[in-house]
Every structure is written in C-alpha cells, then in structure tokens.
Amino acid sequence: MATNSGKSSLETFRLFSSTDAKTNSGFGLFDAPELPALPLPPCVEVLASEVSPSEKYAVDLVNLDGLTLVKGRVNTQQVFGLSNSDLVPGRYEGGLKLWEGSLDLVKALCSEIKSGHADFVGKQVLELGCGHGLPGIFALLEGAGSIHFQDFNSEVLHCLTIPNLKANVSRKSCPSEMKLPNCENEAEVRFFAGDWSEIDKLLLSSSKQNQGAGYDFILMAETVYSISGLQNLYCLIKKCLRQPDGVVYMAAKKHYFGVGGGTRQFLSVVEKDGLMAHSLVAEVTDGSSNVREVWKLSFKCNENSVPTTLDPL
C-alpha cells in the first residue's frame, strides 16, 4: 500500500499469486532497486480521450464460466521501468497485473445477479483499485448507469483500464441488449487516479447524477493486502457509499502471508467501527493458492443487511 512513511528504500513485493504467475511462489522479496520515497501522486481525473486508439495493445481473452471478457497485456518494465515486481509500495501498486480476486469477483457478481441479489441497471458504481477493471466493466455491461474506475497510478488507467474498457465494449459478441457507452442511454464512464487517503472529494464531486450522495455499489478486488492501507480504504468506503442501501463487494485472499493484510484483517477494522455488516458471498479453495473470499458489506441501518460474526483471526 502507498504510505508517506518516508522510508529511504522501497521493497519490491511479489504477492502470490496473479494469474500471470507461472507458479504460486508465495510471498517473497525480490532484488529491489534502491528508490527514494515519493510524495503521494496528485488526485486527478484521467480522460478516456487522452488515450490514443492507435496505441499498441495486446489482448487475451478471459473465460469466466461462459462469460468472455478481454484483458490487455501491458509490460511493467515499459510503463514503470520496473521488472519482476508485482508492486513497489508508494510507486506502483500492482494495477498492471490481473489478480485472481478480480475474476472471483466477476463470477460472484454473476451469481448475485442470477439469484436476484444484485442488479446494476441504472446504478452508480465505483471500482476501487481497478487495474484491468474487469468487475467494473462487467457492471457496465450489466447496465450500470455510471461507472467510475479508480487506481493509484494514472499510468495504469492510461495504459490498461481505458483500452480494456474500450476493447470490451466494442466486441461484436456483446449481446445486443447490453447498454454500452455511446448508445442512446449513455452510461457515465470516468477514471480517477490517486491515493485512497485523498481521493474522496474528487470522487464525490465528480458524480453528476447522484450529486454527491455516493455510489450504489463499490467493487474491489485484491485491495486489502497490506495492513497500512486498510483504515484509509475503509474511511473512503464509508464516505463514498450511498446511505443507507449502498453495497460493497470485496474479493481478496483471506490472508496475505508476509504483508499482513487480508479479508479478515479488513473485516476486523469494519467490525471495530460497528457501522457496517458483512456476509460471505463465496469462498474459493482451488488448492493452488491461499483461500480466497468474496464478501458483501452494507450499512447496518439497511434492514436487508445480514450481520455475521467472523471466525477468530
């Protein structure tokens, strides 16, 4: 997570495991360049029009139980001058890789829609820590009225999220009933870069339709890996989620060994505060990595929320 701790050198982390990883090596430290700590990047909106359609962009197809999405392949070395790293705290926070949690989240959202527990049609959606942005793209394809994508790094939005979004919505195989940007009922699609500790005002002032009332849905995958960012992330969610009936879907690993975060650490922050309830939507134990989970959070004052108690950490 990004911090302003002023460390003289920054570590390069490999958080297990992205879908790009050949093996689930577990958490480890790599040879890290000696990099000075940086101030937090400014909070800015990145305009989709700034991204040239002619920019080179290699894609892969991701099959999610019958749903096919497009994902770009972008080289960390070319964008950040960093090789062999999943993230470098405070500089690059991992957005160029596709992490397993974002696929778990899309699948879970699919099930939630099928079972009638979620409906994105016309809703205001925010994806935090978006990277490729597949959950947000999925919400858009499911008819969201507005979708805002946030990443720590503006470079990730430029080089990956925006081309990814364009590639997905322009695919000919999209079912005709999907409401896509540039159609008659145009959705509002916007992109914001900046740190969770500072980006709330930009996000809330940017939504024309709900006039600062907050988002109906906040989606996030693999954003709770480091303890240092949990409090800021939770504060941002409380400020940005619409009261009383906004819903957060969070996908992540139960524990990130070596960096200290995980779903349970984040939920203990939530429990301590006492304002929000949480319930487990899905548990993924594919035998190849740590247990992964998808959780749903909502305000306790929402009568539909279902409080649960966590297992001991």
Ligand X SMILES: C[S@@+](CC[C@H](N)C(=O)[O-])C[C@H]1O[C@@H](n2cnc3c(N)ncnc32)[C@H](O)[C@@H]1O
Q: For residue 303, what are the contacts with CB-CB under 8 A and spacing of at least 6? A: none
| DSSP code per residue over 110-125 | HHHHHTTS---TT-EE
Could you tell me the smallest distance in angstroms from the CB atom of residue 69 to ligand X? 12
Could you tell me the smallest distance in angstroms from the CB atom of residue 120 to ligand X? 18
The amino acid present at 299, given as its one-letter code, is F
Could you tell me the smallest distance in angstroms from the CB atom of residue 244 to ligand X? 26
Could you tell me the smallest distance in angstroms from the CB atom of residue 4 to ligand X? 10
Could you tell me the smallest distance in angstroms from the CB atom of residue 227 to ligand X? 12
In the complex with ligand X, which residue's Cβ is closer, 206 or 302?
206
Could you tell me the smallest distance in angstroms from the CB atom of residue 294 to ligand X? 12
Sequence length of the chain is 313
Q: For residue 11, what are the contacts with CB-CB under 8 A and spacing of at least 6? A: 29, 32, 88, 89
In the complex with ligand X, which residue's Cβ is closer, 72 or 101?
101
In the complex with ligand X, which residue's Cβ is closer, 251 or 277?
251
Q: Which residue is nearest to ligand X (CB)?
A: 129
* Chain positions contacting ligand X, by CB under 6 A: 1-2, 93-95, 98-99, 101-102, 129-132, 151-153, 195-196, 221-223, 229
> Do the beta carbons of residue 123 and residue 217 sit within 8 Å?
yes
In the complex with ligand X, which residue's Cβ is closer, 72 or 95?
95
> Do the beta carbons of residue 118 and residue 267 sit within 8 Å?
no
Look at strands 28-29 and 13-14 and give their pairing.
antiparallel
In the complex with ligand X, which residue's Cβ is closer, 141 or 277?
141
**Interatomic CA distance for residues 290 and 275, integer angstroms:** 29
Could you tell me the smallest distance in angstroms from the CB atom of residue 279 to ligand X? 21
In the complex with ligand X, which residue's Cβ is closer, 187 or 252?
252
**Interatomic CA distance for residues 309 and 313, integer angstroms:** 11
162 CA to centre of own chain: 14
> Do the beta carbons of residue 264 and residue 250 sit within 8 Å?
no
**Interatomic CA distance for residues 162 and 166, integer angstroms:** 6
Look at strands 58-64 and 67-73 and give their pairing.
antiparallel
**Interatomic CA distance for residues 268 and 105, integer angstroms:** 21
In the complex with ligand X, which residue's Cβ is closer, 105 or 277?
105
